Amino acid sequence: MDAKVAVNDAGEPIVQVARDGALVLVTLNRPERRNALDQAMVDALHGVLDALQGDETVGAMVLAGAGEKAFAAGADIAQLRDRRRREALLSINSRLFQRVEEAAFPVIAAIRGFCLGGGCELALACDLRIAGDTAKFGQPEVSLGIVPGAGATYRLPRLVGAGKARELVFTGRIVDAAEALRIGLVNQVVPDAEVHAAARKLADDVVKQDRLAVRLAKMLFRLDGSFRPGAGYLGEALAQAVLFESEEKVRRMTEFLDRSKTKK
| Neighbour tally for 70: CB within 10 Å | 25
Residue 117 contacts residue 73 (beta carbons within 8 Å): yes
Q: Is the pLDDT confidence value at 126 over 70?
A: yes
pLDDT-based confidence at residue 2 (cuts at 50, 70, 90): very low
* Cβ-proximal residues to 14 (8 Å cutoff; 6+ apart), any chain: 6, 7, 8, 28, 29, 30, 40, 41, 44
Residue-level pLDDT at 263: 73
Identify each DSSP E strand in the chain by its residue range: 15-20, 23-28, 60-65, 70-72, 107-111, 114-116, 128-132, 136-138, 175-176, 188-190
Q: Which pLDDT does position 248 carry in this prediction? A: 85
Q: 77-82: which pairs have CB atoms within 8 A and are 24 or more residues apart?
A: 77/36, 77/144, 79/38, 79/39, 80/144, 80/146
CB 186 within 8 A of CB 131: yes
User: Against a cut of 0.85, is the pTM above it?
Assistant: yes
Positive/negative CA dihedral, 31, 46, 5, 196: positive
| DSSP secondary structure code for residue 37 in this structure | B
pLDDT of residue 8: 83
Which residue, among 116, 108, 121, has the nearest Cα to 190 in the 3D structure?
Answer: 108
- CB contact at 8 A, 112 and 65: yes
- pLDDT of 188-240, one tens digit each? 999 999 999 999 999 999 999 999 999 999 998 887 656 565 666 677 677 77
Report the CATH fold assignment for 15-207. Answer: 2-enoyl-CoA Hydratase; Chain A, domain 1 (3.90.226)
pLDDT for 243:
75
Catalytic site positions: 121, 141
Q: Residue 65: beta bridge partners?
A: 28
Contact 118, 150 (CB under 8 A): yes
pLDDT of residue 74: 81
State the pairing for strand pair 128-132/175-176: unpaired
Domain ranges of the chain: 15-207, 211-263
First to last CA, the chain: 60
pLDDT of residue 108: 98
